[in-house]
Structure 1
Amino acid sequence: MKLSIVIPVYNEETTLEEIVERVQQAPYEKELILVDDCSKDSTPEIMAKLEQQYDNVRCFRHEVNKGKGGALATGFSKVSGDVVLIQDADLEYDPADYPVLLRPIEEAGADVVYGSRFLGGPYVRVHLFYHYLGNRFLTLMSNCFTNLNLTDMETCYKVFRREVADKIDIQSSTFAVEPEITAKVARLRCRIYEVPISYAGRDYSEGKKIGPKDAVIALWAIVRWSPLFFRG
């Protein structure tokens, strides 16, 4: 099984090299698809260095900022593996969890796996109560419109069999991509599993990018892409 790891990148000069090194330690045949979403710091130079350093790293760059959804759409179009995994470029999510994420695909016939921060992973940083509350509310609303029983719709860690990833035509450009993907895998009637993961969340002083405006956008996306209404 070959693993395609899609990493959207925006102004991550302080963490990019370390996350790539951690991903490289995962015991799988893999390719890393890095998509720079028009970073303004030294991220492009670091990506060029990583592409030279590793023969399994492929880098792409947007000349204009297209948001996380745009970066994922580009990354999904470049994958060649059997399984596609989304990895953020910061250090909030630990690639040491890959075996846990992949086990339902390897052993239980899962089509899609979500890594949940709320199922009791090995460790979860305690912080930002209102961010937690917003996540749980958006997950609840998503579940109401998709008839799923997820605990963490907004998680970065989403894993797909390649044949499922190929059917997801990502159109959102913002963090609305999370409810969009969730609605579309629900519409495909995929076999979806959740597993507990570790989480070392950042606060805003450490570079966290998502904010209250993104929650409003995500709420609209839950309705916009709901299988109850969307037929495209």
Structure 2
Amino acid sequence: MKENKYDDPGFFENYSRMARSLEGLTAAGEWEIFRRLLPPLQNKRVLDLGCGFGWHCRYVMEQQAASVVGMDLSEKMLEQARLRNNGPGITYLREAMEDINFPPGSFDVVLSSLAVHYVEHYELICRKVYDCLSPGGHFVFSTEHPVFTAIAAQDWHYDATGSRQHWPVDRYQDEGRRVARFLDNDVVKYHRTVATLMNGLLEAGFCISRVEEPAPSPAVLEKYPEMKDETRRPIFLLIAAQKLSTV
């Protein structure tokens, strides 16, 4: 079994109190940009890797998709997804992203929100997603930005008074495992450069159509003023890619 911090009771309790856990996509600062990267979803077969509480699965079906499969390794996450965001056309499966093994052409769209940085073998994910997509299919995902993941501490540099001075970046080229402090717990994440994230897609056969480094929108900042410093450095990287219709 791959590492699964989200089934740890203490960690899950803290995660469940986050705004995006309580309020869904409207509380996710990157959602408006992520949504724009998605292709039209009507009548599409969709796979959500690392579906969490299932907010994206619910959105997909609201856009009149044919079906959506939400996959997550955490049974606690899937339990909440079934309670909060279930309905006709939605199927939830417990499985690690690295272990997907769907027949070729099973899906028209694969999406993943803030899960890739937990995966050790990113290139494997790219190849497997490519294989399970239909020709012309889309892969859209968000991950923690490499500027954010480079140093395991994932924290600001403070002056003597405790004021935030700058966001430190070091060991950027040293890719691999990081033990970060998140929600008062040690969590394993994997740092990759922007080049590695993009080249993994290209080497799998994808064409990259859009890359975004979103800051919280004015509406999000008005609602959550504590996020004002998220405009000082990128926290998320969003990439939209497509499997060409002819190969």
Q: TM-score, normalised by structure 1?
A: 0.35
Question: Normalized per residue, which structure has more strand?
Answer: 2
Considering only CA atoms, is the larger Rg found in Structure 1 or Structure 2?
Answer: 2
Greater relative contact order structure (CA < 8 Å, 6+ sep): 1
Q: TM-score, normalised by structure 2?
A: 0.33
